C-alpha cells in the first residue's frame, strides 16, 4: 500500500510502500509483521503468499522462544519447591524421645517431589510428660511449607508450657485467626501423656484427630472446627488411660479411617495390634493410599504411640 495515503501508519522511516501480515499461532494472536519498500509499488498475490509463509516461520520462532522461557521458569520454580521440600523434610526427621514403657514412631504419605507433608512434633515438657502434635494447614505449594512451619513453631512454644491440650488449641486458634487473611485454616491434634501411669489427655481441631486401638477395636475421633475459623471456638480435653499393648494413633487427617466401615476398622485393629509403632505407622500409610479411603492424593501424617508395659 502507498504509505503517503495512509497517514495513520507510523513508519519508522520515509518508505514509499508497506505491507502488513498478521502473526498468529493456532490459538493465539501474536501481533503483526510489517515490511517496507523504498519504491512505490503494489504487492501481488504471489508476494503476499511468500510473506505469509515467512510470517508463519516467525510465529513459530516466537512460540518456540516463549515455550523455552516457560520451561525454564517452570524448572526454576520446581527446583525452588524441591529445595523447600528437602528443607522441610530434614527438619521433620527428629529422633523421637526415649520414654520408658512407650514406643513412638511416625510416617507420612507425601510424595517428596510433588506434595507438602503435614507436620508432627514430639517432646518431653518440663514435667517430663510426653507431648505429641500432628497437623497441617490448608494451603498449597510453597505457602503450605511456610504456614506449616509457622504453626509447628507456635505449637512447640505452647508445648513447653504447662497448658492442657485444649488450652493449647485455644491459644493457637486465637493466633491463627488473628494472623489470617480469611482462609488460613488448620488442623491439629495435641496429645499429652503422663508416662508412668499412661493417662492421656488430648484435644483436636479440623480434620486432625486420633484412633485408639484396644482389645482389637478402633475408637475414632470425628472432625471438629478448624483452627483460625472462629476465635470463640471452645475446645475440650478428652482424657483416658492407655494400658499395655494399647495403641494411640494421632492423625493429621482422620478421614481415611472415617471412610471405613466399622468392620473394616476392626479388621485393621486386629492386623496391627501386635506390630511395632513404626510398622503400625506404615500400615496407616498403606490404608490411606488405598482406593477405599479415597484419600490417595492427600498428604497424611500419622504419629503412633504404643504402650509396651
CA distance 175 to 267: 40
C-alpha cell at 233: 471456638
| Averaged pLDDT for residues 18-22 | 83
Over residues 251-271, mean pLDDT? 90
Q: Average pLDDT for residues 289-307, to the nearest whole number?
A: 72
pLDDT over 70, % of the chain: 82
- Do residues 16 and 37 lie in contact, with contact meaning Cβ atoms separated by under 8 Å? yes
Q: What is the dihedral of CA 266, 308, 198, 194, to 10 degrees?
A: -130
Phi, psi for 2 (deg, rounded to 5): -75, 115
Rounded mean pLDDT, 147-167: 88
Cα separation of 277 and 99, whole Å? 13
- The predicted structure's pLDDT at residue 93: 59
Q: 74 is written with which cell numbers?
A: 517452570
- Work out the mean pLDDT of the chain and round it to a whole number: 83
195 versus 306: the higher-pLDDT residue is: 306
Please give the average per-residue pLDDT across 229-237, as a whole number: 92
Worst-scoring range by mean pLDDT, 76-80, 141-145, 200-204, 303-307? 76-80
Query: Which one is the CATH code of 94-307: 3.60.40.10, 1.20.120.1630, 3.40.50.720, 1.10.340.70?
Result: 3.60.40.10
* Predicted pLDDT at 114: 47
Which positions ≥6 away from 194 have C-beta within 8 Å? 129, 200
pTM of the shown model: 0.70
Rg (CA), the chain: 31
Percent of the chain residues topping a pLDDT of 90: 33
Q: Where do the domains of the chain lie?
A: 3-71, 94-307
Amino acid at each position: 500500500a502507498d504509505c503517503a495515503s495512509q497517514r495513520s501508519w507510523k513508519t519508522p522511516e520515509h518508505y514509499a510502500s508497506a505491507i502488513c501480515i498478521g502473526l498468529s499461532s493456532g490459538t493465539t494472536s501474536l501481533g503483526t509483521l510489517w515490511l517496507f519498500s523504498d519504491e512505490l509499488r503494489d504487492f501481488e498475490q504471489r508476494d503476499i503468499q511468500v510473506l505469509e509463509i515467512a510470517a508463519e516461520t516467525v510465529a513459530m520462532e516466537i512460540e518456540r522462544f516463549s515455550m523455552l522461557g516457560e520451561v525454564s521458569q517452570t524448572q526454576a520454580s520446581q527446583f525452588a519447591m524441591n529445595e523447600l521440600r528437602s528443607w522441610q523434610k530434614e527438619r521433620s526427621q527428629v529422633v523421637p524421645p526415649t520414654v520408658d514403657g512407650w514406643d513412638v514412631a511416625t510416617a507420612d504419605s507425601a510424595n517428596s517431589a510433588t506434595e507438602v507433608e503435614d507436620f508432627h512434633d514430639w517432646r518431653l515438657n518440663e514435667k517430663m510428660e510426653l507431648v505429641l502434635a500432628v497437623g497441617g494447614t490448608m494451603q498449597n505449594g510453597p505457602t503450605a511449607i511456610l504456614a506449616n512451619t509457622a504453626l509447628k513453631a507456635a505449637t512447640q512454644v505452647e508445648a513447653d508450657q504447662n497448658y492442657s491440650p485444649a488450652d493449647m488449641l485455644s491459644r493457637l486458634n486465637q493466633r491463627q485467626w488473628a494472623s489470617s487473611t480469611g482462609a488460613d485454616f488448620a488442623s491439629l491434634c495435641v496429645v499429652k501423656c503422663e508416662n508412668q501411669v499412661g493417662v492421656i489427655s488430648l484435644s483436636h481441631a479440623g480434620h486432625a484427630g486420633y484412633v485408639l486401638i484396644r482389645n482389637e477395636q478402633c475408637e475414632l475421633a470425628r472432625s471438629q472446627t478448624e483452627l483460625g475459623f472462629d476465635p470463640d471456638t471452645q475446645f475440650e480435653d478428652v482424657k483416658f488411660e492407655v494400658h499395655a499393648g494399647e495403641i494411640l494413633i494421632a492423625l493429621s487427617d482422620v478421614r481415611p479411617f472415617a471412610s471405613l466401615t466399622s468392620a473394616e476398622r476392626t479388621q485393621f485393629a486386629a492386623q496391627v495390634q501386635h506390630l511395632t509403632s513404626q510398622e503400625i505407622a506404615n500400615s496407616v500409610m498403606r490404608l490411606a493410599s488405598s482406593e477405599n479411603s479415597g484419600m490417595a492424593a492427600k498428604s497424611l501424617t500419622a504419629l503412633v504411640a504404643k504402650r509396651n508395659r
